[in-house]
Amino acid sequence: MDMIEKFNDAVSYIEQHLQDEIDIEKVSEKAGCSSYHFQRMFMYLADMPLSEYIRRRRMSLAATDIKAGERILDVSLKYGYDSPTAFNRAFKSVLGVAPSAIKKTGTELKAFPRISFSLTVSGGTELSFRIEKKDAFTIMGISAELSNRLEENFMKVPKMWMKASLFGTVKKLAALQNNPDVPGILGVSIPENNDKWRYYIASATNASNSKFETRTIPSFTWAIFSGKGTNKDIQTLEQRIIKEWLPSSGYEYDNGPDVEVYLTPNPKNAVYEVWIPVQKAKN
C-alpha cells in the first residue's frame, strides 16, 4: 500500500470517528508514520491543519443533522461540545451562520466534503537530493517547545531565529561546530510524544558548554534536499518534498526528527539542506 492509499485510510478512520474524540496516534498508524509527521504532511497535502479539517467536517455534518430536525443541543453533544456556546461559536466560524439559522428559508450554507488524496503530476522543476546513512550525532544549542498546531510554529520559529541571531547565539553555536558530517547551523524538529515536540537551533559538536542544551540524534537514513533563499523558500521546498517526491519515491518517513541544515545562515539568502528521516516503504 503506497503513501496516498495510507493517507486515504487515515481519512476514512477520521470520518468513522467524527462523533468521538479522535485518537491522532491511531490515525497516524493508519498513515504509516508518527503523529508528528502525519500532521505535518497532512497540512502540506491538504493546505490546512488536521485540526481545522476535523472541525470543518464536524460542523458540516452538524448542519446536515440540524436541517434534518435534530435539536441543536443534541447535535452539539454528538460532536463533542459540552457547551452550547462553544458549539455555536465553532459552527458560526466554520459555516458563517448560527445553528439556529439553518432551518430558515434561503439561508446560504457552506459545505466541506470529505477530503480525498490522489497523486497528481505538478511542477516540473527538478528536486536535487541524495540518500545518506549517518551515524548518531550530538547537537548543542537552544530549544523551545512547539505547538501541536503547526501553523502557529511557522510564526514562532522565525522569531526564535531572529532572537538567536540578535543576541549572538548563532555565532556562538557556529564556533562550537566540529562534526564534519553534519555541517552548518541546524534547525531540528524533534517529536517528544503524541502532541508535543521541540525545535532546536543548534550545531553538531562534541564540545562542552554548560550554557547550551545537548541532544543526541540517533542514526538514520536521510533523504537530503538542497536549496537556497529565504525561510519561505525552505517551507516551499519542504512542501514539494512531501507533495511531489515522497509519494512516488519508494520511501516513507521514519520516526525521527526533521533537520534543516543552514550552510550559510543569512536569513535573506541562505544556502541550506532539508534532511528527512526515511526508510524503504512497506507494502
- Say if CB 22 and CB 48 are below 8 A apart: no
Q: Of 118, 134, 80, 127, whose CA–CA distance to 278 is shortest?
A: 134
AA identity, residue 153: N
- List, for residues 44-83, the tens digit of each pLDDT value: 888 888 889 999 999 999 999 998 889 999 999 999 998 8
The β-bridge partners of 280 are: 251
Backbone angles phi, psi at 132, to 5 degrees: -135, 140
Backbone angles phi, psi at 200, to 5 degrees: -110, 135
All cell numbers assigned to 203: 550545531
Residue 91 or 151, more confident: 91
- List, for residues 82-132, the tens digit of each pLDDT value: 888 999 999 999 988 889 888 776 666 777 889 888 765 455 567 889 999
Residue 155 or 243, more confident: 243
Q: From CA 261, how far away is CA 93, in angstroms rounded?
A: 39
Topology annotation, domain 3-101:
Arc Repressor Mutant, subunit A (1.10.10)
Mean pLDDT of the chain: 87
pLDDT at 229: 86
Q: Please report which confidence band the pLDDT of residue 136 belongs to, taking 50, 70 and 90 as the band edges.
A: very high
Domain ranges in the chain are 3-101, 129-280
Give the chain's length.
283
User: Across 192-283, where does the E strand assignment appear?
Assistant: 197-204, 213-217, 220-229, 251-253, 258-264, 270-280
Fold agreement between 3-101 and 129-280 = no
The β-bridge partners of 254 are: none
CATH assignment of 129-280, among 3.40.50.720, 3.90.1150.10, 1.10.150.120, 3.20.80.10: 3.20.80.10
pLDDT at 274: 95
All cell numbers assigned to 17: 470517528
